[in-house]
Amino acid sequence: MKKLWKCSVCGFIWEGEQAPEACPKCGAPAEKFTLLDEEQAAKVYNSDRTNDIHMELIELSAKMVKVCEEGIAINLDPMCVKAFEAAKNELWIIKQRSKAELEGHMNKGKW
């Protein structure tokens, strides 16, 4: 496992043997970085792919919402519109559930 350093100013996590000369996000100097201990680093690595999957779900949901909106706009018949509106509402739930999950991860250092 590589070393992880966290910027105490903005929370950016850097991977490397040493802290960066300047934070890529906020520009804070190396001394503002603290080395994450093994437990903290494991949380970051173990949650990386899962967080990406949540983000992918959020992205795909947003794309599907656009598809639903197209269907609603075409307005072929009332049942179709109803189905697209229902799907759009369900996609909102999928998106928000993943966002809430991500927020939970952020608060527990899983990012």
Among 4, 5, 6, 7, binds Zn ion (CB under 5 A): 7
Q: Which is nearer to Zn ion, 10 or 35 (CB)?
A: 10
| 28 or 87: CB nearest Zn ion | 28
Contact status: 26 vs Zn ion (CB under 5 A): yes
Query: Residues 8, 10, 16, 19: is their CA dihedral positive or negative?
Result: negative
Residues 71/52, Cβ–Cβ less than 8 Å: no
First-to-final CA distance of the chain = 16
Pick from 12, 58, 71, 81: which binds Zn ion (CB under 5 A)? 12
Q: Decide if residue 10 touches Zn ion (CB under 5 A).
A: yes
With binding defined as CB under 5 A, does residue 23 bind Zn ion?
yes
DSSP-derived 3-state class of residue 8: coil
Considering only the stretches 5-13, 41-49, 65-73, 77-85, report the one whose residues sit in contact with Zn ion under the rule CB under 5 A.
Answer: 5-13
Question: How far apart (Å, rounded) are the C-alpha atoms in residues 9 and 61?
Answer: 33
